[in-house]
Each structure stands twice: as structure tokens, then as C-alpha cells.
Structure 1
Amino acid sequence: MTYIILHALAPIFVIMLLGYYAGKAKMVVNSNVSLLNVFVMDFALPAALFSATVQTPWKGIISQSPLILLLVLSMWIAYAALYFICTLGFKKSPQDAAVLTLTVALPNYAALGLPILGSVLGESSATSLSVAVSIACGSVLMTPFCLLILEREKARASGESHGSTLMLLPLLMWRSVKKPIVWGPLLGVLLSACGVKMPEIILASIKPLGLSATASALFLTGVILSARKLKINAPVLLSCLTKNIIQPFITIGLLYAFGITGPVAVTAVLMIALSAGFFGIVFGNRFGVQSPDAEATLLISSILCIITLPLFITLSAGL
């Protein structure tokens, strides 16, 4: 099992290391990666998320309702708790806290979901569906929270905002929804719900973009890391503890609360037990928000996953 986990994590470290080297060697200007960020945020990731959601049968999504409930609650609880601790306890800015908490709350479904779940439950259409549903949950029901906060603070900084967040909510929601990273997967879900089958030529046309999404996002993350000096502090330690230990136990608690067992329970625990994802860092960079703590959390969480994931694989076997 350790070999399987290392095999799944290896591409993450290798691609980030390549990005880190490119930044350090000045092959890419690591202080200004706006062009690369536009490609990742507005083209590659939206294409990947749209393809994943539009090809997920609506009946399959409905059948995965218990999994959706568990994933969403686990992500929301971790996000809300850590966000308030970061802003009230550690006195972080809302932008920094939003980026850090999204990095923690949204696991790396895209890169690790299929290899880990497939190795435990076996590679099948049901496994692929569970991973696709997990990705859809994160992109449609998690990322807008971070975007709303980033848009709110951007509006306040530019002097556009003088009212309460509640008054600004319609404008902020519109600004978030119109971004490809949000409407891409949302459109895919809506088309799937309406029973619309995308022409094969369209899916084939955007497939190369989708295939490049994870790699380009990890490469961009490496470039961003090359411009920082990583530090381990209290927020980083708490974030890693939350991601690798507390959040999976939240999921286990929800399983007992709802009385859910079997493959759905195993899938939920394993998906949430994955290491921190890169979405928060990429989102933050697009808004000019630097979060060294989020970057450190991403690296340390990925390393700790080698130890913690086998623990939760063992615990999930009894569910």
C-alpha cells in the first residue's frame, strides 16, 4: 500500500519540483506568473472540470447522494472552523485565510482520487464515478466560498464596497459565477441534469486542455513556491493536523451520525483523507494573494499523507 501511495504522490512532487526549478533558474519569472495563471484558471482547469461533470450521468450523481452529503459536510465544517481560527485566532487577513482554508478543506481529488480509490476498491466504473462526483462537489460547492471572500476583499480594497457583505452578496456571487473555474463544472452538472449529451467532437476538442490541467496547476504551484521561503509555524502545523487527521475523523463521525456503512463510507473517508489540494494557492495567485502558509501546508500535507493515508485505509476497512 505504501508503494501505491508513493506511486500516486510521485507525479505531484516531480511536477512541482520542475516548476520550482524553472522558477529558480529564471526560466520562468516566478514573481509574475499571470499568463500561466490565466491558462490554468481560465482554460485548463475549467475544461477538465467541465469534461468530468458533463460526462457524469445524472442518475449516477443522484445515486451518490450519501457520498455527496458526507464530502460536502466534511469540507464545509473544516473550512468554516479553520477560517475563523485563522482570522480570529491568528489574525490573518480574510484573503490569506480563504486561500489557506481552501487548500486544507478541498483534498487533492484530481491527482490522487483515482489511483488511491482504485487500489483499495478496485478500478471500475463505480470508482471512476465516485472520483468524478468528488471533483464536482469540490469545484461547485467549495471553491465559490473562497472566490466570494477574495472578490469581497478586492472590492473593498478598490473602494467599490462600502456596505455589508450581505448587501454585496448578489454582486459577489455574479463575479464568482462568471469565472470559468466556477461556471465550467456548474454548466457540466446542469447539462448532465438535463440529459444533454455533448457531441464527441466537442469533448475531443477540449480533452487536451483537460489532460494538461493537473500538470499545469502543479507546475504553476512549483513556480510560485520558488519565489517564497517556506516557514513552519502554528497556522501551518494546525492546517496540516486538520487536513491529515482531523478532517478524516470528522468524516468518520458523520458516518456514525448518519449510520452510513459499506463502500460509500470507505470512499468518503479515503477521499477526505487525501492530501491538501492546489486550488487555494492557484486561486490566491490569480487575485495577487500570497499565502506562504498555504504553500507550506500543501508540501507538508503531501509528505504526511504517506503516513496518515494508510492509517485511514486501515480504519475504513472496518466501516
Structure 2
Amino acid sequence: MLNTILNGLLPVAFVIGLGWLSCRLGLLKHADAGVLATLVIRFALPFALFEGAVKTSPDKLQNVGFAACLTLGLMGTYVIALLVGRYVFKHDLRTATMQALVCAFPDMAYFGAPILAAVFGPEGFLAVLVGNLITSIFMLPLTIVLTNLHGKGTEGNGWQEALKVFWQSIVRAVINPIVWLPILGMVLSFAHVTLPGPVLTSVDLIAKAAGGTSLFALGLMLYGERFVINANVLTNLGIKNLLQPALMALGAVLFGVVGAPAHQAVITGAVPTATAAAMFALKSNTYTTDATATILVSTLLGVLTEGLLIAYFF
């Protein structure tokens, strides 16, 4: 059990620490994380998800209960956090939406994928694959719509503009490599197509860069972030690190997901907040301080939470 925990978490902490240290020593800059993030999101991770889909048997890919479980965990957390932000903290719609994204968007690309791959092997990417589709097609477009509705009425151009933005975001999501490459891998798996060895080796070469590069970039991103604790941050931590994995576990029970897929779902729910949430907050100039603080503390807490879950399951 201890060996499983160390295999899953020690490499994660080590590489994040290297990224942070490189900034501390002045070898790289905080802004350099953007270049590495582009490499991961546009190339390495899409091919890693493609490889995981191609190598996963069709019967596991068509597990509807597993998809429903992840949807409940991700979107259920989003709705709860949105309501908490709107009616408990009395935030405006834009701010409440950013809080919902911070609470519900797990860092599957940077933090989750390496842990799931280390614990479950190539099949571990299944949760990242399905979860990424849910966030890309539902969560992120909904966030864009709600932030664009801020300050607008529900009549006339307000809703028309929101719907236009929604469909544009759907189109952008569909043509994004992190969406269509995994889908292509699923199609090939369902068609029982076996790719030639040299092709798989080529894909694997870039796919292997996803884990280490993403964690190193996360270390760069976290350097210099302010350590802030307030009611918003504490609430966000409770929703993200505790409520979301609990909802995943509930979904597993409701939809009959058992074994490794259930464990993958819960571990995915315990993954800390995605750094992309802070990018959205920064772009909209809303909730930035609490978003970055939540990401920092959530990442530190996530190491402990993931370790406890791995110990429990294995």
C-alpha cells in the first residue's frame, strides 16, 4: 500500500517542487509556464488521451454509468458552488460563476493524469478523457454564457448574445485537439482498429511528455502565489476537496459503477482545482485573489487527500 501511494504521489510532489524551485532560483520565470502549458494542452495531453482511448477496450469506453457518475460529480459540484456563491456569499452572477468554476473544475490535465496513470496504468486516462469532454462541452461553455449574462437583462440582445457565445464555445471545444483526438481514439477502439507499432510508438513519445511537463508547469504557476485564507477560500476547499469526491462516490452507487472505474471517479473528484480556473478569473478580472489562493491551498491539500484515498482503495 505504501509503495502504491509513493508511486502515485511522490513523483507528483517532486516534479511540482522542481518547477517551483526553478522559479525560486531564477532559472525560469513564472510566465514561462504558459509555453509549457501550451505544449501540454495542445499536443502532449491530447495524444496521451488518444493513446489511452485506443488502448482501452470498447466495453470500458461505453460505460454509461461511469460517464453519468463523472457528470454528477463535476456538474453537481458546479451547481452547488454557484448557489453558494450567489445566495450565501451574495456574489453577483459573474463572481458566483467564477467561484463555481474554481470549486468544480479539477486539474485533471496537470495533477490528475499522472496520478491516475501511475495507479491504474493506461486505463487511468479514461477518467481524464471522459471528464475532459464533460468540462469542455458543458462546464466551460456554461461558464462563458453566465459571465456574459452579467449585467444584462433576460430579454433582447442579452440572451441572444449569450446563446451566440454558447454555440461559439461549443464549436471551439469540438475542434480543440484535447477533445477531438480522444474522440478519434474512441472511434478507432470501437472499430477494433489496431494501429501499426511505429505509429503507436510515435504517439507514445509525445504522450509521455504530458505528465512531467504539466506538473513542472504547475510548479512554475504556483510560485509567487499569495497564501490567503478567508471564508471564500475555506468554503471552496470544502466543496472541491471534500464534497466533489463525495458526489463522485454517490454517483458510483447510484449508477452502479464498481471496481477500478469507481476508484478512478473518486480520485478524480479529489484532484485539486485546475489552474485554468485562475486563467478564466484573470481574463474576466473577477475573483482572482480567491481563485489563485484556492488553487494553491487545494494543490497542497490535494496531495494529502489523494494519498488517503489511494491508501483506502488499495
Q: Same fold (TM over 0.5)?
A: yes
Query: Which string of whole-angstrom CA distances, capped at 9 and with x for unpartnered residues, describes residues 204-261 of structure 1?
Result: 1121211111211111111111242232222322222123322232234334445x37
For residue 174 of structure 1, report the CA deviation from its aligned partner.
0.8
**What secondary structure sits across from 2:225 in the alignment?**
coil
In the alignment, does 2:47 pair up with 1:76?
Answer: no
Aligned-partner Cα distance in 1 for 2:5–2:131: 22
Letter in 2 for 1:24: R
C-alpha distance 229-264 of structure 1, shift in aligned 2 (>3 A): closer
Q: Which moved more, 1:75-84 or 1:144-153?
A: 144-153
Aligned-partner Cα distance in 1 for 2:99–2:49: 25
Letter in 2 for 1:238: T
Aligned-partner Cα distance in 1 for 2:241–2:147: 31
In the alignment, does 2:145 pair up with 1:142?
Answer: no
Q: Which moved more, 1:223-232 or 1:270-279?
A: 270-279
Aligned-partner Cα distance in 2 for 1:197–1:315: 36
In the alignment, does 2:186 pair up with 1:171?
Answer: no
C-alpha distance 199-33 of structure 1, shift in aligned 2 (>3 A): same
- Cα pair 1:58 1:193 within 8 Å, conserved: yes
Aligned-partner Cα distance in 1 for 2:10–2:312: 24
Map of 2:25 onto structure 1: 25
C-alpha distance 244-198 of structure 1, shift in aligned 2 (>3 A): same
In structure 2, which of residues 189, 193, 198 is the aligned counterpart of residue 192 of structure 1?
189
Map of 1:85 onto structure 2: 84
- Cα pair 1:75 1:106 within 8 Å, conserved: no
Map of 1:226 onto structure 2: 223
With normalisation by structure 2, the TM-score equals 0.76
Q: How many residues align?
A: 302
Query: Which string of whole-angstrom CA distances, capped at 9 and with x for unpartnered residues, describes residues 285-313 of structure 1?
Result: 99698955444444434443565457656
Letter in 1 for 2:248: T
- Cα pair 1:20 1:225 within 8 Å, conserved: yes
Aligned-partner Cα distance in 2 for 1:181–1:287: 21
Aligned-partner Cα distance in 2 for 1:200–1:173: 34
Structure 2 segments unaligned to the other structure (5+ residues): 151-156
Q: Which moved more, 1:261-270 or 1:52-61?
A: 261-270
**What secondary structure sits across from 1:195 in the alignment?**
coil
- Cα pair 2:58 2:190 within 8 Å, conserved: yes
In structure 1, which of residues 105, 112, 135 is the aligned counterpart of residue 115 of structure 2?
112
- Cα pair 2:46 2:178 within 8 Å, conserved: yes
For residue 2 of structure 1, report the CA deviation from its aligned partner.
5.4
With normalisation by structure 1, the TM-score equals 0.75
Aligned-partner Cα distance in 1 for 2:11–2:81: 28
Aligned-partner Cα distance in 1 for 2:189–2:282: 29
In structure 1, which of residues 210, 214, 217 is the aligned counterpart of residue 211 of structure 2?
214
% same residue: 22
* Moved >6 Å (runs of 4+): 153-157, 285-290, 313-317
For residue 17 of structure 1, report the CA deviation from its aligned partner.
1.7
Aligned-partner Cα distance in 2 for 1:286–1:232: 19
- Cα pair 2:174 2:180 within 8 Å, conserved: yes
